[in-house]
Amino acid sequence: MLDKPASALRLRERLLDSERLMEETGCYDGITELTLRNQDPLKFETLHTKLRAYCVSAREMARRISASPGVREVGEMVVAIYTPEGDAIALSNGIMVHVHTMSRFIKWMIKNGYEDNPRIREGDIFANNDAFIGTVQVPDVMDVVPIFHEDTLVGWAGAVCHELEAGGITPGGDVCLAQERFTEGLFVCAEKIGENDEIRRDYVIRCERNLRMPIYWVLDEKAKVASCIDMRESVKQLISEIGLDYWMKVSKEFIEEGRRAQLARTRQLTVPGIYRGHTFYGHVTAGKPGFQLLGDPDWLYNIPIEMEITTDGKITMDFEGTQPWGYHSMNCTPAGMDGGMFVTLTQHMNFEGLVNDGAWMATELKLPHGTWTNPDNEMVATATSWALLLPAYGVFQRLLSRSFVARGYVEEAFVGQVNSPMIEMGGESQYGTPFGMAHFECAAAGSGALAIKDGLDTAYVGWNPESDMGNIEVWEQSMPMVYIGRSIMPNSGGAGKYRGGCSFVSTWLINNTSHLRLHTSEHSSRVFDNGGMCGGYPAPTCQKHRAVRNSNIHELAAKGEPLAHAPGIDPHVSDYEKNIGGDHVVVEGPYITSPHKSGDIFSHSYNGGGGYGDVLERDPIKTAWDVENGFLTRQAADQVFGIVLKDDEDGYPVADIDATVERRAEMRKQRLAKAIPVADWIAKERGRVEKADFAPEVKKMYASAIKLSSRFTREFSEFWNVDARSIFMPGAKP
Amino acid sequence: MTSYSKEVLGDLAAGKLPWPQTRRIMSAYKDDDRFFKMVAVYQDRIAWKDPILLPVSDHLFICQSGDERITRCECGHSFGDYRKNWKLNAAINVRNTEEALREIYPNSDLPDPEWMEIREFICPQCGTLHEVEAAAPGYPIVHDFEPDLEGFYREWLGKPL
C-alpha cells in the first residue's frame, strides 16, 4: 500500500517501486483499497473535478497566447497533471492522444537519471518531441514542469501543442519526405529548456534558426509553459488546503479508480471474446522527386488487429501479422501506439467518471518488434505516423463497436475514424517573407456511421475529439492561397443503411507568391484505408490530387466566365478541366512536386467515414434530403441504394416509395444471382494463391508478414490449405 | 437505476427514436438491464422461435436451436455452429474490376483492383448484405467475432446459458 506521502526515496526508486507494486498486486501503485474514496466520496469527486477544471482552464488561457491557427482555431493542444512518477491524474480536452505520451516522457527522464544530471528543480522546464522517448511525431512538442511542495517533488504539469512547422526536409510538421530521423526537423530530446520559469534564450535562438516559421513554435512554448505554471500553482494551492499527505494518496487513488472504472465499463458495455478486423494503406512514391531509393518506393501495408476482451474486463490489442517499419515517415513508436489507444478509450468508454492514465492501465498492446508499430531501429522516421495509426485505431473502434452491438448498446456503435490527409506548405508567403505551415483544416473529416444514424459530416477526427476545420479567413491570413471553394464531397461517406459522414474538398488559388511548395501526406493510394460495418461499405479514401498550373482563372474572372470551385462528380474529367484553362495535373500519392506560383490552382480532398448496414435498407426520405443538400447524388441514390427519386413541383427530389420497393426487390434478386457460395470462391481463388498471381506489392506484403509472424503464416496457410512460406518466400530457410 | 421500456429500445435499435431522446440516452448513465431487453426486442422482430443468445450483427444472431447454438440470419437461414466463421457459409460477390467498383463508388477515385477488392457477404436465402470486407487479393476471410458465450452468461450476466 502506498503510505509514503513525502517519500525520501529518489524518483527513480519510487517509479520502480510503483511498477513493482502494480506487478505484485494488479492494482496501480499497490492500492488495493480506495480508502479515501470510501471515507468521503464527495470530497474525492470534488477534488478530481477541481483538477480537471485546472487543466481545462489552463489550456483555454494558453490558447490565447499561441500565434498558431492550429492551436488557436483548431485546438491542437492538451494539458495534464501527473504524479511524481509520471502517471496522468487529470487532463483537459483537446488532443488527448498526448496525455499518455507525456507520461512516457516523464518516466524516461526519471529512468535516465535526470535527478542527477541535468537535475530536476523548482522552476525547471523540460521539453521533448522525440517519439522514441515519448510523443507521436516531431511536431508534437511537449513541455513539462515539476511541481514541488517545499523540497519534495509532488507531481508534474505538462502540455503539448502540435507545431505547424518543424523544420524538416519538407515544410510543415508531418514531414512527408522524411525517410530517416535525420530529415524530420528540429528534435528536442528530453531537454531542460528553461529554468526559474523562464525559457532559455539559447533554446529560443536554436528554434529561430532552425524553423521556417519560428513564431508558431516559440509562442506555443510560451503558451505551454504558461499553462504548466498555471496548473502548478493551482495544485500547490490545493495542497496547502488539503495537506500533502492527502494529496499524495488521493492523486494515486484517482488513477486506481480510473483503472477500475475502465474494467467495470468494459464489463458493462461489451461482450468477452475475440474480435478481428483489418485495414490497408497504400504508399506510392515511385518516381516522385526527392525520395531516396532506400527501400521499395511503393508499399502496401496490411494492418490486422486481434482484440481480446477477457471476463475480468481487460482489453488486449494484438498487431501481429502487420508490416515491418520502412524508410518512410509512417512508422510509429510504442508511445504513439499507446497514445492512439488512450485517445480512443477516452472517446468510447470513458465518457463518465475519472478519466486518467488508469484507463490505459486496464489495457494491453501487443506490438510486434520490428513492425511499423514497434520499430527495432530508432533511426526511423515517424513524422507521418498517423497515416497508419489512424486506420489502425479505426479498426479498434469497429471492433469495440461490434461488442457494443452484441451487448445491446447500439447507440454507442460507431464505424470509426478515417485518415486525415494533411496539406503542408512553405516558401515565400503573401507578405514576401519566408514561411512554413501545416494546414489543419483536416481536423474535420467525415465520421464513420453509427448503428442508428448517419455519421457526422465534416465534423470528426479521432485524434482531436473537438474536431474543427477552422475559419477560411484565418487560414488565408497565414498562407499565400485564397479559397475559391470549400465544398461537401457528394458520396464521400461509405454507403450503408446509415452512410458515413461526408468529407469536404478545398480548392485554392495560389496568390501573391512566386514560390509555394505544397506537400501532402497521410492519403492512402490504391486502397481504401477504412472499413464499413455490418454490411456498410468503406468510404472512398484513395483520392488523387488535382492542380492547374498557369491557369487562366484571372482572365476568366475578368470576363465574368464561370469558374470551377470543386472537382465535381465526373470521375473521368474534373470541373477544373472542364472550366479552367492551363496545365492540368493529377497526382497519385503524396503531392511532392516543383513549387507553385500565383495563378496556379490546387485542390485537396479529405476523407469520409465508413457506412453501417445494408444499403438496401436506407431510408428513402432521408436520401432525398441528402440529394437535395449535396451529400449524395441522384445516381448514387438509384444505383447504390435502389432509391427511386422523382421531382416535386418545385424541382426538389422526393422519394417514390412504391417504385423504390420494386427496384430494391429487383436489386436483391440480382445480388443473389451474381453471388456464389463462399466455398466455391475459396476453391477458385486457391489456384491464384498457389501461383502467387498477385501484383508485386501484394506479394511483397505477404512475404513481409510471413517473415515477421508465424501466426500470420499459419492462419494464411490453414485458410487456403497451402504452404504460405513456399509460395511467397521460395528458397527461404525454414 | 436507469432503465428504458422495450418500446423505446425498439425505436432506438430501428433508428426511429427522435434525436433529442437518443442524445439523452447516449449521455445518461447506462441502463444495466439493456441486454435482455434488447434481446427481447430482437426476438419480437424475428419470425422464428429459437431463443436468441447474442446479437452479432445488424441481422445476425447466435441462437439456441435444439441442442445446437448456431448463427442465424433474421430471415431464418442458418450459417451453422456459432463457433465457426458464418462467412464461410454465406454467398459472396467480389468487386475486383473497375466496372464493379464503380457501381458502388460512382464519383470517386477507385482502388486499384490489383491491390484491393471489395467482398460482399450475403445471406443466400434473403439476399441481405451482412458484411463487407475491403482486402488485398488473396487475403484470408476474417473471422470477425468469436464470443466467449459461456463466460459472458456465467460471469457477466450471472445467468445460465
Question: What is the mean predicted confidence (pLDDT) over A342-371?
Answer: 88
Same domain? For B82 and B70 the reply is: yes
Cα of A533 to nearest chain B Cα, Å: 6
Residue A569 is predicted with a pLDDT of: 95
- Residue found by looking up cell 495563378 in the block: A599
Q: Mean pLDDT in chain B?
A: 97
The beta-carbon neighbor of B137 closest among A311, A495, A694 is A694
The beta-carbon neighbor of B145 closest among A275, A352, A677 is A275
Question: For residue B92, what are the β-bridge partners?
Answer: A676, B121
Quick one: closest CA in A to B143, which residue? A276
Residue B1 is predicted with a pLDDT of: 84
pLDDT band at A7 (very low <50, low <70, confident <90, very high): low
pLDDT band at A6 (very low <50, low <70, confident <90, very high): very low
Residue A357 predicted with pLDDT over 90: no
Inter-chain CB proximity B129 and A614 less than 8 Å: yes
Residue A206 predicted with pLDDT over 70: yes
Cα of A712 to nearest chain B Cα, Å: 10
Inter-chain CB proximity B12 and A679 less than 8 Å: no
Residue A3 predicted with pLDDT over 70: no
Preferred mutation among A407, A412, A414, A415 to probe B, highest tally of B CBs within 10 A: A407
**Residues of chain B with C-beta less than 8 angstroms from the C-beta of A633:** 106-107
Residue A5 predicted with pLDDT over 60: no
Question: What is the mean predicted confidence (pLDDT) over A319-329?
Answer: 97
Question: For residue A145, what are the β-bridge partners?
Answer: A157
Inter-chain CB proximity B156 and A267 less than 8 Å: yes
Question: For residue A278, what are the β-bridge partners?
Answer: A304
β-strand pairing of A273-284 with A298-309 = antiparallel
Inter-chain CB proximity B139 and A271 less than 8 Å: no
Residue A123 is predicted with a pLDDT of: 98
Inter-chain CB proximity B91 and A675 less than 8 Å: yes
Which structural domain, as residue segments, surrounds residue B88? 46-157
Is residue A253 helix, strand or coil?
A: helix
Work out how many domains chain B is built from and give that number.
2
Which residues fall within 8 angstroms of residue A716, CB to CB, at 6 or more apart?
Answer: A702, A705, A706, A722, A724, B140
Rg (CA), chain B: 19
Same domain? For B30 and B51 the reply is: no
Which residues fall within 8 angstroms of residue A459, CB to CB, at 6 or more apart?
Answer: A444, A446, A447, A467, A501
Same domain? For B24 and B97 the reply is: no
pLDDT in tens, A239-264: 999 999 999 999 999 999 999 999 99
Same domain? For B65 and B36 the reply is: no
Residue A163 is predicted with a pLDDT of: 96
pLDDT band at A2 (very low <50, low <70, confident <90, very high): very low
| Sign of the Cα pseudo-torsion (B23, B29, B31, B32, in order) | positive
Same domain? For B16 and B83 the reply is: no
Cα of A672 to nearest chain B Cα, Å: 6
pLDDT band at A509 (very low <50, low <70, confident <90, very high): very high
DSSP state of A723: -
pLDDT in tens, A363-414: 999 999 999 999 999 999 999 999 999 999 999 999 999 999 999 999 999 9
Residue A333 predicted with pLDDT over 60: yes
pLDDT in tens, A525-584: 999 999 999 999 999 999 999 999 999 999 999 999 999 999 999 999 999 999 999 999
Residue A354 is predicted with a pLDDT of: 76
Torsion of CA A28, A32, A36, A39, to 10 degrees: 160
Preferred mutation among A452, A545, A588 to probe B, highest tally of B CBs within 10 A: A452
Same domain? For B101 and B130 the reply is: yes
Residue B161 is predicted with a pLDDT of: 87
Quick one: closest CA in A to B29, which residue? A352
Instruction: Tell me how far CA of residue A438 lies from CA of A424, B11, B101, in angstroms.
Output: 4, 44, 33
Instruction: Tell me how far CA of residue A716 lies from CA of A8, A686, B84, in angstroms.
Output: 55, 11, 17
Residue A379 is predicted with a pLDDT of: 97
Question: For residue A60, what are the β-bridge partners?
Answer: none
pLDDT in tens, A620-646: 999 999 999 999 999 999 999 999 999
Take residue A540 and report the three cell numbers written for it.
472512398
Residue B144 is predicted with a pLDDT of: 98
Inter-chain CB proximity A677 and B92 less than 8 Å: yes
pLDDT in tens, A446-490: 999 999 999 999 999 998 888 899 999 999 999 999 999 999 999
The beta-carbon neighbor of B151 closest among A272, A536, A571 is A272
pLDDT over 70 percentage in chain A: 99
Same domain? For B84 and B70 the reply is: yes
Residue A19 predicted with pLDDT over 90: yes
Residue A707 is predicted with a pLDDT of: 96
Inter-chain CB proximity A685 and B138 less than 8 Å: yes
Same domain? For B4 and B39 the reply is: yes
Which residues fall within 8 angstroms of residue A611, CB to CB, at 6 or more apart?
Answer: A415, A448, A449, A493, A494, A495, A496, A497, A498, A499, A500, A532, A533, A536, A537, A538, A539
pLDDT band at A1 (very low <50, low <70, confident <90, very high): very low
β-strand pairing of A516-521 with A504-510 = unpaired
Same domain? For B93 and B33 the reply is: no
**Residues of chain A with C-beta less than 8 angstroms from the C-beta of B84:** none
**Residues of chain B with C-beta less than 8 angstroms from the C-beta of A669:** 127
Same domain? For B93 and B40 the reply is: no
pTM, two decimal places? 0.96
| Sign of the Cα pseudo-torsion (A386, A391, A392, A394, in order) | positive
Cβ-count burial of A347 within 10 angstroms (0-12 exposed, 13-18 middle, 19+ buried)?
middle
Distance CA A620, CA A440 (A): 35
Residue B6 predicted with pLDDT over 90: yes
Find the range with the poorest average confidence among A337-346, A388-397, A674-683, A709-718.
A337-346
With beta carbons less than 8 A apart as the criterion, state whether A376 and A369 touch: yes
Same domain? For B40 and B51 the reply is: no
Cα of A621 to nearest chain B Cα, Å: 13
Quick one: closest CA in A to B131, which residue? A535
Residue A141 predicted with pLDDT over 80: yes
Counting one residue from chain A and one from chain B, the pairs whose CB atoms sit within 8 A come to 253
Residue A184 predicted with pLDDT over 90: yes
Question: For residue A363, what are the β-bridge partners?
Answer: A315
Question: What is the mean predicted confidence (pLDDT) over A27-43?
Answer: 97
Same domain? For B32 and B98 the reply is: no
Preferred mutation among A401, A410, A586 to probe B, highest tally of B CBs within 10 A: A410
Distance CA A452, CA B13 (A): 6
Q: Mean pLDDT in chain A?
A: 95
Preferred mutation among B3, B19, B112, B159 to probe A, highest tally of A CBs within 10 A: B112
Residue A350 is predicted with a pLDDT of: 82
